[in-house]
Chain A
Amino acid sequence: TAGITQAPTSQILAAGRSMTLRCTQDMRHNAMYWYRQDLGLGLRLIHYSNTAGTTGKGEVPDGYSVSRANTDDFPLTLASAVPSQTSVYFCASSDTGGTYNEQFFGPGTRLTVL
């Protein structure tokens, strides 16, 4: 079982360009999340989705958008990238219908915006 896959692994992007980070899970989890990890700031939630067809804003949503057309995929889009969006992005999923709400993480995408 692959769990969660993310693509690309890393990317260098010019400021002003758009980009979509892809995330796919095969665990049939209902909830999915996008975090960014920055030195000294830990993990911050960007957007989340409790179930297919619904999304919500996290702690740092500005400049990002998401969609959840189906259970497996949860892409994150940067419409017009800025250098402050340089970060490592992690996608995660969880089965919130279960007891623990344990989150499973993907391998991450390292994004550099120049």
Chain B
Amino acid sequence: AQSVSQHNHHVILSEAASLELGCNYSYGGTVNLFWYVQYPGQHLQLLLKYFSGDPLVKGIKGFEAEFIKSKFSFNLRKPSVQWSDTAEYFCAVTPRRGYQKVTFGIGTKLQVIP
């Protein structure tokens, strides 16, 4: 079975600082990778996803993530965060073949200080 590890559980940044949230997964086969965001009091929404092709994927609101297969990583980045990026971020993985469940990391809470 697959698993996901998010290294930073709580991150505090000032506005305009750069962001990188770590995500590593374990699984022996090909995977689809996701980052979801949960704004305060809201449900999870898809931020970006990787299926195949260019390992650098761009999502909404200026976020991007890079899939490094050799490191089993899918780190989320943003060059300059805004106060409105305050939210909890979840990395998720699912094996590509067949009916497979999605496994989520425990999440990283990002607090952006104005």
Contact = CB atoms under 8 A, between A and B. Distances in A.
Given A41-B106, A101-B94, A48 B34 contact: no
Give the interface size bracket for B toward A: 20 to 34
A92 B101 CA distance: 11
A100 B32 contact: yes
Contacts of A48: 101
B101 A43 contact: no
A31 B99 contact: yes
Given A100-B49, A102-B34, A102-B49, A107 B101 contact: no
B89 to A, nearest CB: 11
B104 A42 contact: yes
A107 B94 contact: no
A101 B90 contact: no
A100 B106 contact: no
A90 B44 CA distance: 9
Contact of A40 (B90, B105, B106): B106
Given A103-B46, A103-B92, 12 more contacts: A35-B104, A40-B106, A42-B90, A42-B106, A90-B43, A96-B99, A99-B51, A101-B32, A101-B102, A102-B46, A103-B102, A105-B43
Interface of A: 31, 33, 35, 40-43, 45, 48, 50, 58, 90, 92, 94, 96, 99-108
